[in-house]
């Protein structure tokens, strides 16, 4: 952008922060920061965010180059399976699938690239090679494509629900049935758009679960998804009155999480089964519980044993 430009006719009469946002393509809050810090100002007269832009105003830009810190590497992210076409990582909690606005922590994609793992260029910028994601707060297996052939084929397999994704989760309370299916549409919450909820206006979502172990106050279950909606397991279990232990966003008891030493929801992507994109051999990759989830299970088992007569 030129250092000094005349106020655009279409923005005359607008607040200065609104005009700067339009001129730079930044958010209004970012535009306000640029004005407050003196990086954008009006020549020949004082101004602030609320100043009205007038005909004949000259806008001066003195933008400072942003120095971005290098993305940290997830050193403890193990590789569970790798060949020339795909790599399956065992993602730790606290690692995002890819970079996004406001996220400054490690990512699966960034960590693989910094380790020298070749990733296909197919896919959206900053998300290349990724055909399925895990939340930052969910640990476990996640597949990334290294070749163009793998990207096309694995994207198809995930889209057509041919990939078998098995999760283990600990739900609060005692699930009444040993096996059941939750079928309920999921959409964004109208009040808090970062949350999701069961709503008739949502997209179809189907979750199957089988009980693995009962503790009385909580239940360990194996879960398979027919669909892959955001927060699907968390929302579905909360909708039946059994939020995942440690999942405060969806109604879990924070006291129980504290007693179990949990700082996130008890949810782990345990197994991944798919047809290899090149050889077509059925491939099965399995994970193990990370330390925090294993510890929580040990505590639950000990508490259950204490309650037995």
How big is the CA angle at 227 (ends 223 and 229), to the nearest 5 degrees? 95
Give catalytic status of residue 76 as yes or no. no
Long-range pairs for 19-27 at CB < 8 Å and ≥24 separation?
Answer: 19/53, 19/59, 20/59, 23/59
How far apart are the C-alpha atoms of 173 and 158, rounded to whole Å?
A: 32
How many angstroms separate the CA atoms of 294 and 298, rounded? 6
* Interior/surface letters 217-241, b for 16+ CB within 10 angstroms, e for the rest: bbbbbbbebeeebebbbbbbbbbbe
β-pairing, 139-145 with 267-275? Answer: parallel
Of 17, 57, 135, 247, the active-site residue reads: 135
Burial class of residue 41 (count of CB atoms within 10 Å of its CB; 0-12, 13-18, 19+): buried
Active site residues: 135
């Amino acid at each position: 952008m030129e250092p000094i430009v005349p106020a655009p006719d279409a923005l005359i009469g607008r607040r200065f922060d609104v005009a700067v946002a339009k001129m730079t393509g930044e958010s209004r809050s970012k535009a306000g920061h640029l004005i407050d810090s003196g990086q954008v100002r009006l020549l020949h007269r004082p101004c602030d965010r609320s100043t009205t832009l007038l005909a004949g105003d000259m806008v001066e830009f003195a933008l400072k180059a942003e120095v971005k810190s290098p993305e940290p590497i997830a050193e403890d992210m193990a590789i569970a399976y790798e060949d020339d076409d795909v790599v399956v990582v065992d993602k730790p909690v606290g690692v995002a699938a890819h970079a996004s606005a406001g996220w400054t922590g490690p990512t699966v994609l960034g960590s693989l690239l910094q380790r020298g793992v070749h990733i296909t260029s197919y896919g959206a910028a900053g998300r290349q090679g990724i055909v399925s994601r895990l939340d930052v707060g969910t640990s476990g297996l996640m597949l990334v494509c290294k070749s163009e052939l793998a990207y096309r084929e694995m994207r198809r397999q995930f889209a057509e629900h041919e990939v078998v994704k098995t999760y283990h989760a600990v739900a609060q309370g005692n699930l009444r049935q040993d096996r059941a299916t939750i079928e309920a549409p999921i959409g964004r919450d109208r009040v808090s758009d970062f949350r999701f909820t069961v709503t008739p206006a949502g997209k179809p979502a189907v979750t199957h679960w089988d009980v693995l172990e009962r503790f009385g106050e909580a239940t360990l279950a194996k879960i398979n998804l027919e669909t892959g909606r955001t927060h699907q397991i968390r929302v579905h279990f909360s909708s039946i009155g059994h939020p995942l232990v440690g999942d405060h966003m969806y109604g879990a008891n924070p006291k129980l999480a504290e007693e179990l030493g949990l700082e996130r929801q008890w949810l782990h992507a345990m197994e991944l089964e798919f047809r290899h994109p090149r050889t077509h051999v059925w491939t099965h990759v399995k994970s193990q519980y990370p330390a925090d989830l294993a510890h929580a299970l040990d505590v639950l088992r000990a508490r259950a044993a204490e309650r037995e007569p």
